[in-house]
Structure 1
């Protein structure tokens, strides 16, 4: 498909995300000590963390739950007027004010049951004397520890119905499909959707268990490949499960490392120098089974758990 260059983009970017974990303290320590995030707030059941160059007051909220998985994904509207247009097209929804630092949030649900919160008003991050940057155009000082994750990059969900989700992203959120994996009959099996000029922000992959509302992974960007290589050493020393990588994806071209944080959620570290989609009339790229046969990365066979593991964990059919 070719995208309409006159199409209005009412979502600016993916905002903060919530992640459920049965091991709150251990997950917190992983993100702070190995990944380089900063704890900025906590309450009775959750911890708020910040990546060093996120202009918003927090990036990731870890929430104590019995099982791992994804909570809300917040999406910032491009303007107050864009928020009004989006809310006029979403149908049933509810409005909440319980999201820390985000003002009024309008909650919508994708066809698979993942909850998305759309907002405009936001509290910006304010560095103190312990992390004040020398460069006033970045949010906080470079942490210089662990993986030094710079920002949240994308969210990859599992879904029982890829076509329905694709229609929701396009028709309701105005996102554009940059690439997709198609089955032999031409139906999509995985879809990459962009909200701005990044190659993708929201990704949905078919859940082979038929379950709904699950997470494949959340991804964070580093500045360089070297930081991903160092993160592998850091995770090895800390006993963090390294699932696959460091490698470079054969399809999306990002240099990556996949690990499982202590709560069981899959976390991707990817190179911040990923491709941009600058063409306003970009044509969706479709990948066939034959084209994917070259492997996940540099000829590497895709590890089995990459297809079978998701959170919350469900019994294999």
Structure 2
């Protein structure tokens, strides 16, 4: 009986978190960062409050998917996850409290209600919530498509929705296990060294290959810095990457890598450093979706690492593996 109750509890846990709700990033040059997201990526500004601006992609259903906040240096503000129900939120909060990583409740923010804040073992700030505000387009943005929240913007190369976040970790396995145990994330793919340690792990709570990726931080030996590797937005059409690449080049924005295709996730993508210093990934193709309830995680070995990272395209630069935000000026790993 006890084993059956434990099994049922674990099954509930797997479905308690519904999706990635939004991500907050910091920038020392908010006007330039906002120009990048609004004029080049076609995102819509929804509201401003204090030092923060709330943005959305035209197929995001909630109030916002990106919060841009002014700070002295770039980096991650927080990652927000939406629970599937109020009961699911309560269950996840109990496990987060038991884990010792919980920080407590906040009343809410623009676009959502009460949220429970917590941190990963590497000190990435996160929150989980349920009550959200759905976007209501002004008359000028109302679309004929009743299944989309707003018209496709007519500036830049508009991204369609937020896709995932990638976090740098001093210990991939520790952080992976935490997200699986406390929040019910599913491991979809990982790269494993010969000694059994993990170079990277890709996790999700939905049919997407990942809403969360964890990469070993090769840029510093220091732990607990809560470093961001990238936030990703989805296009769904590979041609848009070429269109955007030309627009970025004409406007002097650095393209770090791509377009290229990863082995892990099969994603066709491009990496860009926005003016504030944060890395942004653009998905021209979301790879594959997972509907199999008995899915077994895909394991790439140490010898297969190169193919896991690059299926085709030019090799990634050294910065891809060592640069994250906040940038660090401490001894790097050898």
TM over 0.5: yes
The number of aligned residues is 314
1:190/1:204 contact within 8 Å kept: yes
Structure 2, gaps ≥5 residues long: 1-6
Shift of 1:272: 4.6
Structure 1, gaps ≥5 residues long: none
Deviations 1:92-127 (A, max 9, x none): 331002421210101111111111110110000000
Deviations 1:191-218 (A, max 9, x none): 1011111111111111121332000000
Determine if the alignment matches structure 1 residue 174 to structure 2 residue 178. no
1:147/1:222 contact within 8 Å kept: no
Compute the TM-score of the two structures, normalised by the length of structure 2. 0.90
Compute the TM-score of the two structures, normalised by the length of structure 1. 0.95
217-226 vs 268-277, which moves further: 268-277
Distance 1:46 1:134 in 2: 31
1:224/1:273 contact within 8 Å kept: no
Which residue does the alignment assign to 2:221?
Answer: 210
Which residue does the alignment assign to 1:130?
Answer: 140
Shift of 1:175: 0.3
201-210 vs 89-98, which moves further: 89-98
2:268/2:286 contact within 8 Å kept: no
State the secondary structure of the residue aligned to 2:263: coil
Distance 1:253 1:170 in 2: 23
Which residue does the alignment assign to 1:198?
Answer: 208
RMSD, matched Cα: 1.5
State the secondary structure of the residue aligned to 1:252: helix
Distance 1:117 1:272 in 2: 28
Which residue does the alignment assign to 2:65?
Answer: 59
Which residue does the alignment assign to 2:53?
Answer: 47
Determine if the alignment matches structure 1 residue 159 to structure 2 residue 169. yes
Instruction: Choose from 82, 85, 88 the match for 1:79.
Output: 85
